[in-house]
Structure 1
Amino acid sequence: MPPAAGQASRPPSPLKPPRKRRRIVISCTECHRRKQKCDRAFPCSNCIARKKQSACHYENESARKQQLLEEGASTSTDDGGAFSTMKLEGDSAAQVTSFGYASNNSNSNTTLGLFRRIEDHDADTPSVISKPPPSSANNGGLREKYKSLIRQLPSKPYIEKLVDTFFREVNYHNYSIDEAIFRDHLRDWHNLSFSTLNKGPLGLSGDLQFFPGLLFQILALALQFQHGDYDAILDSLKYAAGMSFDDLASDYSESGVQILCLLGKRHTTLVTVQAGFLRTSYLKNCGMITESWHSLSQTIRDAQEIGLHKISADRPARNAQLSAEDVLENMWIDQLRRRVWMILSYWDIHMAIILGRPTTIDSRDGKPVLPIDAPIPKNRRTVAPSLRTEADPPTPLTALLWTVELAAPLWDIYSLEKEDPQHLLWPKVERMHKLINQITLHCPPFFRAQNPDTRFDSHPDCYWLPRARPSLQNGAAFTIMALHRPYIFTHAASRTAALVACLDILRAQRTYFNQLHVKDYKLFSLVINTFDAIVVLAAVYILHPCENREHLDSALQHFEWGMERFQMMSGRNSMAKSALGVLKAIHVRLKKALGPGKIPPTTTQVPTPESYAPSSTSSENRTTSQSSVQNVPSGPSTNNRTIADTPQYTQPTISNLTAPTPPSASAWERFSGNMLPQQNFDFSSMAPLHPMHDLLYNDLSTIGDTQMLDPQLGSMATTDMGIVDTSEAWQFEGDFGNDSFWGFMNSYNP
């Protein structure tokens, strides 16, 4: 239609520019690209789950912080630590991880697994399973509490001195801390500015948030093992008159625990697990075994929270977006994760066997994937983990792997105790003993107790090697003792095998003790293994004094040497002081059982199976290759399988053993006969011995403790033990049943 007359034609209006998006992007770039709900942490939970922490960054940092503050002002929190549960409303209920589901569980049949399948089905839908953002409503209180705790850390020069002590004197015992990785964290911690620390833990990465908790535990253990000629500058750390390093170590360890409790469980990292394990070790050295056992259980739960129990044996897939240096570093971190879980598994079963307590780890989950016995590189960003060669010196990891291999049968021994409460499956015990003996044939030459390969002893990084040999010898003997200990009341052959193993433990402990300094007297292993071995040894001779007479002189000598060691340690080791009184009371009973007129001039010796005899020098010098537990094939279970049919070392498991047959009564009658101290007592009903459990948990003590714990007691001769020889002086008091060894001792008068 033409324009009206006199009306100017209008030019066409220009195109309007596209409207800019007014909503500020506050998600990280990765979540924004993937259209996922971002919790706006740094790094966010989605990037952590995808292992892309390095790619997590925000285009508008100020907008992100402002959004977090606005959300925190309207969010109620509970008392569950820094990362407390949000109040779920509306769609927030879909954030199923806040209900405690395991985010690292690969099982797709759980509720969380179903959510993952829904999310994977529609990649364009925002994530419904991301972790809830941390609330900052109580950020002020959290920040002040966190700052008050980290202020208790000593200054950098003191930290450096104590960290050097820890890695020189302590870490090689369990090797739970990688020194290079730890020092990287320590450098990052020292480089944090005051303004960053002033913002509290929420402004730090996950590892650095928990790092002070780990550092406190390291300082505490370093103080526990200070030499007598320590640097006097460390005295400046004591803030009160009469304060000892043990008091200061207790303060530091408790501060580390408070940091872990303050930060809660929502963002647990490997650093958290390492701090928990060092706390467990510290408590053990303090003689607080009950608290240590609970601490270990909690640490295992923390490790399971971050999926250490789900580590795959396969090499992790390479991320195309990571540099070669980052890939290599991740490979070493994966090795550390395997190492930490292996240590926790070993401690779990070892404490269960010693204390007679349940394990936290379910043995049905399978064996842990072991790390590679790789030499420690100077720069882990340039070298991939590779197996150590024969020319490479051993490392503490080499000793740790061999320790775990020697202790691997403890899981089957633990299961057998539950399977055979009536002690009828002794044929299984015999076969397990023979299979366990095969493990020692594979001992690396530099770990042998007899005629070892000493070419690495002078290596500066192998200063710990001479101490490792008796420690590993002790571990091998402890496995044998643990196998036979439940059967010493009913089977003569088990008494002989347990006795020989106890003597091996005491020999190894004496050799180990002679290599130690006074500062090492706090080591819990110096008491636990010696006490168990002496009690089992004494029980064998008190109840059956006419058996195993060929070992009697050696047994009495090691009994006295063990008490002498406890006497020397009692000033620094509370467990040694408690155990010493019990051993003195047992020694009185042993002397009465073996006294004049108690033993006939000639007695029939109990036959000792060849497999139970002490290892000969020729067998210990045999050249063998090291075997790793994870590489040992498990043969099929068969009723006709014998040791001679096994061409190679097979991991001893209950499924590999021959079906049991009831023990014959003739052996019991032949070896017991008239030798029993009380024939009206049913030894088959006696509860298995767990000496450390009774000492620590059942308040085992003696009436004459105060008189018998004479600090001036010198050499402990058999004829003069400084003990009042009355019936009251060696009565045991404690919370134990009538079917226990201790109850029998109170009613037994040889």
Structure 2
Amino acid sequence: MNSAPRPRQRRRLILTCVECRKRKQKCDRGQPCAQCIARGPESICIYEKFKSPNNAVARASSKSTESSPGQIQDRASPSLLQNAHEYGYSKSDAFSSMGILTKVISGIDEVTPSHRPAAPQIRSKLRADYFGYVRRLPSKAHCEFLINMFFKDVNHFNGALDEVFFREQLDRWWATAYDVILKQGPDALPLDQWYFPALIFQVLAVALQFLPTPHGFLVKVLKFTSSQTFTELSKEYSDCGEGLSILIGRPSSTLVAIQSSFMRDFWCANAGDLLQAWNHSGRTVKEAMSIGLHLEPELPSSSKPEELLDSLWMNELRKRTWWNLFVWDSFMALELGRPMFIDLKKCTVTPPIECEIPPDRLKRVPTPRSDSDPPIPLTERILRLTISRRFAEIRELESQGSVPQNPEKVKELHDFAVKYREDLPAFFRVTNPDTRWDDSCPFVPTHRELISFLTDSFLMALHRPYIFTRSKSQREVYNCALAILDSQDRLFQFHRASSTQWFVGTTFPTFDAAVLLAVVLVSNPERYHAAFSRPYQSLQRALERLRLIGLSLPLAKSGSEILESTVRRVVEAHERAGPSDIVSTELQLPGVLGEQYPAHNAPSEMVSPDVEPWHFEVKPSEMEWTAQNPEFFDFDFSNLEVPMPLKELLLDEEMAALPAGMDAYDPSFWPQPLEQPGLPDISLEQPGIMNVADNSFWNFLVGYPTSFKGDSL
């Protein structure tokens, strides 16, 4: 009788997470893996324990784990892959070279289980630094005051955060964070909790930027000294949040880390540092893409209703965060003349559902808002997203110069904006708006003006390259600039009455529209001579706003100085066109928010679909105003760079760094091309921003009065 031993059954190592094994999908063994990142939420990425005393790999892994007492309990990356992120590999790409290597090495190097996303590995000597940052957070009472103010008065401007999710994370932080840090060290915190104090710092910093003047005494105890301003305190908090994020490290970014970075972008813009805001937003976008926010999350397949609903709402939060980044990126690029960081062709994520995230989200399914329901803050964001998707097409047209290769494309975008305005909900229309929600939804009046500005800004940006090559485009820029200035005046009066320090929100649109309006008036004064008092008063009110804001915002002060010089040139051009006594020094302010809008403020009456073929003049001699102003005949309008006043405002800020005695408005002191001598030693991240060519619109505008010296009116 044969008693041959039975063949031993082969036991395979289980290297995939539970969700990937269930779905029969490839798992990259990440913490969390790429599949769970794309599916969301990341907390479902769990690895089962594998115990086999006869398995050499398990013994080696256990020995390796026990020999590293300073490491956290979660599964760390294999030793060969510890610094893989330094080569720029994305953790969300399972099919890159490093992604494939990770899957191979993971099965050999270690199989230690994990039950939550791995926290970043921070050395013991840095734990004191982490705790030092956390200790700089204000007391819970002061934090609650500023956080309440942020969600009441600020968050609706850009929808950066969701209050329900933030409150849940905040409660967990107050309940457990300090005890865990003191007793076990920060390594014991969940991954999102690592970054959460950085997000708190950014929220406090932005709240202080918008702090109403009467409420200052409630938080003055937070100042280090009595002489410290709230602006300085805001910067201190924002720098703490940024420093804490850098201390933790970028490679292990989570959704909370992205939100904190986005809030830093918002803070930089509010502080007037547009260059820093644009550069930092590029890093935010890259980090968001590294965790797959630009990809459509997969539907969860949990059998438990609460887990399913939690995943659905988390997917909504991820979508909102990503599309907020896109709206921010597209608008910054359009206004500053900078490249966009986000390419829609590489994004598969769909827009979010227009609904509020309820406190009892684990019992409710996301349901879109009906037309009869009151508006919510997300309503404005979705409308903004609709038009922001077309900004990239305007940027492409700008690269073609003042004579587009396809004029029909310009016409199509123009008609799109007109139709967009006509289809706006009644409560967002500027002409005869539905104001029934204005009291119950205090954000609606502000959002109405923001949507109005966005639409007029879209049309103004579309037509600004053709100010000198198409007569109707010049008229569109004129009308849109007036509408924007009136809208910004109403916004400024509203926020000034409420004592909200929202300076940046009116500084940049005001400066942009005022300078473009001045360009039109200087280039063709005869056309607008009869009705000059209308644009002149708008320019005077814009100048007054910038002067008032300039007391708190240096960038606005620079803008007021530039605009003051520009208005003088406008007046000189008007006087050259002929004598007139219609210029009134009495400023007539537009109606405040909620009142009936004057007829001249109704953009729908000014801008309409153009059914005629679009014609662009190529030669200066074909332009009607060059015959009236012979001095313009030699100016190469067809090669004039696209007018971008905000870009020029930043240029003026950089010119302030030049040696004393140099006049920023004297063309002889403009920076020379690189191959010519006399180039000032100014280092910028964007080469060419300081390059003011002979045919720049700023050179044209600044040099206008000098070209008429010696002429009689």
- TM-score bracket, normalised by the shorter chain, equals 0.7 to 0.9
Contact map agreement 1:545 1:599 (CA 8 A) in 2: no
| Residue in structure 1 matched with residue 302 of structure 2 by the alignment | 320
Structure 1 residues 593-608: aligned runs within 5 Å:
593-595=573-575, 598=578
Structure 1 residues 639-650: aligned runs within 5 Å:
none
The Cα offsets for residues 607-663 of structure 1, whole Å up to 9 and x where unpaired, read as: xxxxxx97969979x9xxxxxxxxxxxxxxxxxxx998xxxxxxxxxxxxx9x9875
Structure 1 residues 590-629: aligned runs within 5 Å:
590-595=570-575, 598=578
Q: Percent identity?
A: 27
Q: Distance in 1 between matches of 2:27 and 2:93?
A: 21
Q: Distance in 2 between matches of 1:40 and 1:684?
A: 55
1:180 equivalent among 151, 164, 170:
164
Contact map agreement 1:27 1:40 (CA 8 A) in 2: no
Aligned pair 1:273/2:252, yes or no? no
Instruction: Give 1:488's aligned amino acid.
Output: I
Q: Distance in 2 between matches of 1:467 and 1:615?
A: 16
Contact map agreement 1:146 1:200 (CA 8 A) in 2: no
Measured after TM superposition, the shift of residue 161 of structure 1 is: 0.8
Measured after TM superposition, the shift of residue 139 of structure 1 is: 2.4
Q: Does the residue aligned with 1:229 lie in a helix, a strand or coil?
A: helix
Structure 1 residues 462-541: aligned runs within 5 Å:
462-517=441-496, 519-541=499-521
Aligned pair 1:742/2:698, yes or no? yes
Q: Does the residue aligned with 1:309 lie in a helix, a strand or coil?
A: coil
The Cα offsets for residues 452-498 of structure 1, whole Å up to 9 and x where unpaired, read as: 11221221xx1111121112111110000000111112222211111
Name the TM-score, length of structure 2 as normaliser.
0.79
Measured after TM superposition, the shift of residue 204 of structure 1 is: 1.1
Measured after TM superposition, the shift of residue 391 of structure 1 is: 2.5
Q: Distance in 2 between matches of 1:217 and 1:150?
A: 13
| Residue in structure 2 matched with residue 158 of structure 1 by the alignment | 142
Against the structure 1 CA distance between its residues 523 and 676, is the aligned structure 2 distance closer, same or farther, given a 3 Å change threshold? farther
2:92 equivalent among 95, 104, 108:
104
1:200 equivalent among 185, 201, 205:
185
Measured after TM superposition, the shift of residue 331 of structure 1 is: 1.2
Q: Distance in 2 between matches of 1:577 and 1:600?
A: 31
Q: Distance in 1 between matches of 2:462 and 2:45?
A: 52
Contact map agreement 2:269 2:504 (CA 8 A) in 1: yes
Measured after TM superposition, the shift of residue 303 of structure 1 is: 0.6
The Cα offsets for residues 560-593 of structure 1, whole Å up to 9 and x where unpaired, read as: 0101111121112222111000001011111111
Q: Distance in 1 between matches of 2:413 and 2:167?
A: 44
Contact map agreement 1:363 1:411 (CA 8 A) in 2: no
Contact map agreement 1:207 1:271 (CA 8 A) in 2: yes
Measured after TM superposition, the shift of residue 381 of structure 1 is: 1.1
RMSD (CA atoms): 4.5
Q: Does the residue aligned with 1:268 lie in a helix, a strand or coil?
A: coil
Instruction: Give 2:300's aligned amino acid.
Output: R
Against the structure 1 CA distance between its residues 599 and 488, is the aligned structure 2 distance closer, same or farther, given a 3 Å change threshold? farther
Unpaired stretches in structure 2, ≥5 consecutive residues? 1-12, 52-58, 582-598, 671-689, 709-713
The Cα offsets for residues 378-435 of structure 1, whole Å up to 9 and x where unpaired, read as: 3111111111012321111001111222333211101111244654544432332123
2:425 equivalent among 424, 428, 444:
444
Q: Distance in 1 between matches of 2:642 and 2:665?
A: 21
Structure 1 residues 568-583: aligned runs within 5 Å:
568-583=548-563
2:336 equivalent among 330, 349, 355:
355
The Cα offsets for residues 89-140 of structure 1, whole Å up to 9 and x where unpaired, read as: xxx69x977854333237x5x43565699899xx999889x9998786x621
Q: Distance in 2 between matches of 1:410 and 1:28?
A: 42
Measured after TM superposition, the shift of residue 744 of structure 1 is: 2.5
Q: Does the residue aligned with 2:423 lie in a helix, a strand or coil?
A: coil
Against the structure 1 CA distance between its residues 504 and 456, is the aligned structure 2 distance closer, same or farther, given a 3 Å change threshold? same
| Residue in structure 2 matched with residue 585 of structure 1 by the alignment | 565
In the alignment of these two chains, the number of paired residues is 638
Q: Does the residue aligned with 2:439 lie in a helix, a strand or coil?
A: coil
Against the structure 1 CA distance between its residues 283 and 544, is the aligned structure 2 distance closer, same or farther, given a 3 Å change threshold? same
| Residue in structure 1 matched with residue 54 of structure 2 by the alignment | none
| Residue in structure 2 matched with residue 344 of structure 1 by the alignment | 325
Q: Distance in 1 between matches of 2:427 and 2:217?
A: 37
Contact map agreement 1:335 1:372 (CA 8 A) in 2: yes
In terms of Rg, which structure is larger?
A: 1
| Residue in structure 2 matched with residue 249 of structure 1 by the alignment | 234
Instruction: Give 1:480's aligned amino acid.
Output: L
Against the structure 1 CA distance between its residues 452 and 265, is the aligned structure 2 distance closer, same or farther, given a 3 Å change threshold? same
Contact map agreement 1:216 1:256 (CA 8 A) in 2: yes
Contact map agreement 1:277 1:296 (CA 8 A) in 2: yes
1:145 equivalent among 129, 134, 137:
129
Contact map agreement 2:495 2:502 (CA 8 A) in 1: no
Measured after TM superposition, the shift of residue 678 of structure 1 is: 2.7
Against the structure 1 CA distance between its residues 250 and 457, is the aligned structure 2 distance closer, same or farther, given a 3 Å change threshold? same
Structure 1 residues 538-553: aligned runs within 5 Å:
538-549=518-529, 551-553=531-533
Instruction: Give 2:302's aligned amino acid.
Output: A
Measured after TM superposition, the shift of residue 366 of structure 1 is: 5.0
Aligned pair 1:371/2:352, yes or no? yes
Q: Distance in 2 between matches of 1:65 and 1:220?
A: 45
1:191 equivalent among 170, 175, 200:
175
Aligned pair 1:688/2:625, yes or no? no
Contact map agreement 1:83 1:134 (CA 8 A) in 2: no
Instruction: Give 1:360's aligned amino acid.
Output: F
Measured after TM superposition, the shift of residue 746 of structure 1 is: 4.1
Q: Does the residue aligned with 1:673 lie in a helix, a strand or coil?
A: helix
Instruction: Give 2:236's aligned amino acid.
Output: D
Against the structure 1 CA distance between its residues 747 and 84, is the aligned structure 2 distance closer, same or farther, given a 3 Å change threshold? farther
Unpaired stretches in structure 1, ≥5 consecutive residues? 1-24, 76-81, 602-612, 623-641, 645-657, 708-727
Contact map agreement 2:177 2:189 (CA 8 A) in 1: no
